Amino acid sequence: GRRPRRRGERETLALRRRTSPGRPRPQGVAALAVLAIGLALLAPSAAVGAPPVPFLLLEEDRTYQVQPGESLADIAFRLGIPWRRIAELNGLTDPTRIAAGQTLRLPSQRILPAALEDGLVINLPDRTLYHFARGTLIASYPVGVGRADWPTPLGEFRITAKVRNPTWFVPKSIQEEMEAEQRIVKTRVEPGPDNPLGEYWLQLSLPGYGIHGTIAPESVGWFSTHGCVRLRAEDMESLYTAVSRGTRVVIVYEPVKLAPARDGRVFLEVHPDPYGITGDPFARLGDLLAAQPAPLRLDYAGVQAALWAADGFPRLVGSPVQPGDSK
């Protein structure tokens, strides 16, 4: 990807609402009290900011096979799951002792950003690409996305071209970075083992940006790119085969995700806000709750714990309001 436009241009592209930068701290008991009062009725007027994307709760058995050189911390960060949770699920008393080829159990709950019936949804805070077909998740992959100073643009795009063995025409801004870092300045990189795009490129309808493979698999799962979306080589090969020109791609920024289960449980998943876009996570939770079709009863201690932890782990925080409940 190339260096993003200046602030005003980038915000027009991103279609986003910026509040204060950084990760605001919840305002403790007072904020919870205000949140509880304001959301008890769940009136639409209680929502603040842009409408969130819809979310779905998926519960399924999941595993992960450890790759050579990976630590539990690496795996946890790439998958957006606290390493302690993975260690607990797998009975790992010493989290440093995992081996390549070992199969690890993962938490069964996942909250999906269901922004499309058909196509690709990329949620930057959880660094995951979701592939939907007819409203059903058919695949998901960890991805590397733009650094805070080179953010991945938000919005809806299309895949306009598929290229196998691409040539990388190095953007001028990246050439300038190479020069500033006293590296060899390259203007193009031919296909081959030194090409950072890997073997496959999916061109997006936003010029200069795409979804591609990598020759640096350790960078996947991090905010590590110049704005493009990067997959591990084997994942990119699968994705390249599964999509076609014209496929819709929606890139969203949802660090706070909320979804009820069919049996009435309610799960909340919170990630850090590295771009400083969403502002107060309590306010964003208000948006999510106001968008629910029915009132929800929340455990506010659990809500506060999830917002403070921001560890990407779906936490049980409540249940629907039952008939006859006064609140």
**Which residues carry out catalysis?**
212, 228
Question: What does the radius of gyration of the chain's CA atoms come to, in whole angstroms?
Answer: 21
Please, are residues 166 and 252 in contact by the beta-carbon 8 Å criterion? no
- The string of DSSP codes covering 96-119 is T---TT-EEEE-SEEEEE---SSE
Cα separation of 144 and 121, whole Å? 14
Contact status, residue 171 vs residue 150, Cβ threshold 8 Å: no
Count the Cβ atoms, other than its own, within 10 Å of residue 196. Answer: 18
Specify the 3-state DSSP secondary structure of 32.
helix
Beta-strand pair 229-230/210-212: parallel
Q: Are 109 and 259 in contact (CB under 8 A)?
A: no
d(CA 160, CA 158): 6
Distance CA 275, CA 83 (A): 23
3 state SS of 298: strand
**Whole-angstrom distance, CA of residue 217 vs CA of residue 233:** 7
Specify whether the CB–CB gap between 319 and 266 falls below 8 A.
yes
